[in-house]
Every structure is written in structure tokens, then in C-alpha cells.
Amino acid sequence: MISRSRLKEPFFTIWVICNENRERSPIVAAVIKEYIPKDLRSYFEIESYGLDSTSDYVNVSIPGHIPNEIPEGIPIADLILTMTEGQMKTVQDKFPFDHSGRQKVRMVVQGQNLNTDGVGREAYVRFENRVTEHAYQILYLIISECVLKIQNTHPIDDTRRTKRKTGTQI
């Protein structure tokens, strides 16, 4: 494992995206943070953004939360999670590939659009419960992407591996 003291910034950055960053993406980001083991949390930076957060944020459902719009330029995120297929396509058009040419935009729950079924506290609690039901699936996706980043950052030198039976190099 990489020593946390050697890292100047989090190892893996995740952006969670919805339309206005008023409800869904902050809730999903909070669930992800909650399910990452405490001793690993410092390795992750999890931020939530909206495709368009210029709307009036006085009606934000989460007290103290100020909506943020996706920053301009090349994303620094290792993984971008969206609520819906439409949002995923919008983000893919804006940020098509990472430096390796690999797509890094995914839906929070693959194949399912995550929408609230109303407004108000009860609707947001139901939404949070839906996300929590998929928490381990979401963590699996994040871990899979972390492994790919590790493999790309620290490739295995296959010439140094040896066969156990013969002791010869492969």
C-alpha cells in the first residue's frame, strides 16, 4: 500500500454529477464517503457537481450546501459518476477520455437512472435509501477503477516474474 504520508494529494478523485448539484449528487457523494472504510478515506477525494448550477440555490434541499458547477477545462477526476444516462452522455461529450484513452464516465448504478420520486425530505430519504442499497456495487466500481489506475501508474514488470515449479523466468 502507498504510504499516506508520501502522498501530497488524494490518490483517487471522484466527481459525482447531477443536473444542478442541489440534491442527488451531494447525497450520493455522502453515501460513498460513508461506505469507504475510515482508514482509507484520506486516499479519496469525492466532490459533487452539477451540469448547471447557475439556478437560484436558495431552494437547495441540503442545509449548508452550495451547488457547484463542473469546473471548466480538463477534469482532474479519476472517475466521474452520473445519475442518468443523459447526464453521462453530456459529460462524455464534454470530457471524452482520460490520458490513456479510456472512458472514465460511468453511471452511479449501471443501467439505472437515479431520480428522486418527488420533493421534500421524505423523497430525499427514499433516494438515499435507493443509493445505499447499491453502495457495495458502487464501491466495487470505484475499487475496479482504482486497480486500473494502480496498474497504469505502477505496471508490473513481467520479465522479473518467475515460475514457481521451474524457477525459470517467464
Domain ranges of the chain: 7-160
Question: What integer is the mean pLDDT of 24-45?
Answer: 94
Grid cell digits, residue 19? 443536473
Please enumerate in sequence order all residues whose Cβ is within 8 A of that of 136, keeping only pairs 6 or more positions apart, or say none: 35
Give the predicted TM-score (pTM) of the model: 0.78
Inter-residue contact 3 to 104 (CB < 8 Å): no
Task: Please tell me the predicted confidence (pLDDT) of residue 158.
Answer: 55
For residue 130, the model assigns a pLDDT of 92
Burial class (CB in 10 A: 0-12, 13-18, 19+), 135: middle
30 CB burial (10 A radius; 0-12, 13-18, 19+): middle
* Topology classification of domain 7-160: Rossmann fold (3.40.50)
pLDDT at residue 4, as a whole number: 46
Tell me the pLDDT tens digit for each residue of 96-148.
Answer: 666 655 668 899 998 888 888 887 888 889 999 999 999 999 999 999 999 98
Q: What percent of the chain has pLDDT over 70?
A: 74
Cβ–Cβ < 8 Å for 68, 50: yes
**pLDDT of 50-67, one tens digit each?**
998 665 555 556 667 788
Grid look-up 452550495 returns 66
